[in-house]
Amino acid sequence: MRVGVIGAGVMGSNHARVLAGLPGVSLVGVVDPSPAHRTRATELANCASFETLDQLFAEGIDAVTIAAPTHLHHEVALACIAKNIHVLVEKPIASTVEEGREIVAAAQKAGVTLMVGHVERFNPAVAAVKQAIAGEDILSIAITRVGPFPPRMSNVGVVIDLAVHDIDLIRWFTESDIVEVQPQLSSAVAEREDIALLQFRTESGVLAHINTNWLTPFKARSVTVATRGKYVMGDLLTRQVTECFGFKPDGSYSMRHLPVGHDEPLRAELIAFLKAVRNGETPAVTGDEGVASLEIATQCLETPSRPAAKSPALKGPRRVAG
């Protein structure tokens, strides 16, 4: 299969590196207007590079991965779909829900595969958590995703850059839509929000919470899921997943570490995309799922915070004890 990569920043260069090593894949090249980016990608993946999309199209390709800046996703994806090229587009699927829906509609009309790059689903620790809670009555989910401010980030805040990962995970873990959103946002250092505390309720009744910021001096990624029978804790960086179970009336319980795989998430994601293309299967993360997560993230940015209710003032003199 002849594959191209659009966007040769950090993420796009990694796409090229992984694709170059996959069997049955011919990496045709990477597209980026920046000479420095093209040089980095070609050195990393030992492939050709192009300045424009048309130059890549002229080489003949079956599929692309789009790792360009988010504001270009809509234009680039539609151009590829118009050429009947299968598309993996990095998260978020587009800048707006409307643009995302247009990409989905175009892919459906053309009959091409469209997958959204919510790569965290392919983290082996996340997969272990998902397996551990299968068939369980989920009560609550708490996710922390924090770290230092990324110098590359300028056009979006933490909700679109980070929390959209976890919105997707909440929907995937619960297999249910999010129906209530209660966001608390703040801009401490950046122009856009760099602190977000987000609360959700799913249609199935699960309560979920996301804590994300760009103020923590180190990266931390964790997931905890409480069910009626288990409490599952996952560290997405160290890939350690622990399960508490067998709760007794006296407060005692059992604990065990769960087996976790060692696959590189991006590699697993790209393999899943190419498998869906080859077999004509529904991709692991559909365009509709990508739009749904973007829609919830957008609601988090648009929903105003509600002021706390004030207690009524006490009337009459206050009694002093003693």
pTM equals 0.92
Per-residue pLDDT band at 303 (split at 50, 70, 90): confident
- 8-40 per-position pLDDT tens digit: 999 999 999 999 999 999 999 999 999 999 999
Mean pLDDT of the chain: 94
Q: Residue 169: which pLDDT band, with cuts at 50, 70 and 90?
A: very high
**For 85-129, how does the pLDDT look when each residue is reduced to its tens digit (9 = 90+)?**
999 999 999 999 999 999 999 999 999 999 999 999 999 999 999
The domain limits of the chain are 2-118+269-286, 121-262+296-302
Burial class (CB in 10 A: 0-12, 13-18, 19+), 234: buried
Identify the band that residue 306 occupies on the pLDDT scale cut at 50, 70 and 90: low
- Judge whether 157 and 194 are in contact, CB under 8 Å: yes
Containing 144, the helix (H) or strand (E) segment is strand 138-148
Token pair for residue 51? 């300045």
Q: Which fold has domain 2-118+269-286?
A: Rossmann fold (3.40.50)
Task: Please check the confidence at residue 151 and state whether its pLDDT lies above 80.
Answer: no
In the β-sheet with 207-213, what is the strand arrangement from edge to edge? 178-186, 195-202, 207-213, 138-148, 215-227, 230-235, 240-245, 254-257
pLDDT digits (tens, 9 = 90+) for 265-274: 999 999 999 9
322 has pLDDT over 50 = no
Q: Could you tell me the pLDDT band of residue 153, with boundaries at 50, 70 and 90?
A: low
Phi/psi of residue 6, nearest 5 degrees: -110, 115
Backbone phi, then psi, for 111, in 5-degree steps? Answer: 75, 30
> Residue 111 is encoded by which pair of tokens?
């009959």
Q: Return the closest-CA partner of residue 114 out of 279, 284, 293.
A: 284
Rounded Cα distance, 92 and 69, in Å: 10
Q: Specify whether the CB–CB gap between 18 and 267 falls below 8 A.
A: yes
SS3 label, residue 311? coil
**Cα–Cα separations (whole angstroms), residue 278 to 6, 85, 116, 211, 262:** 20, 13, 17, 38, 25
Residue 72 CA to its chain's centroid (Å): 18
Distance of CA 309 to the CA centre of its chain: 35
- Superfamily of 121-262+296-302 according to CATH: Dihydrodipicolinate Reductase; domain 2 (3.30.360.10)
Taking a C-beta distance cutoff of 8 angstroms, is the pair 277, 113 a contact? yes
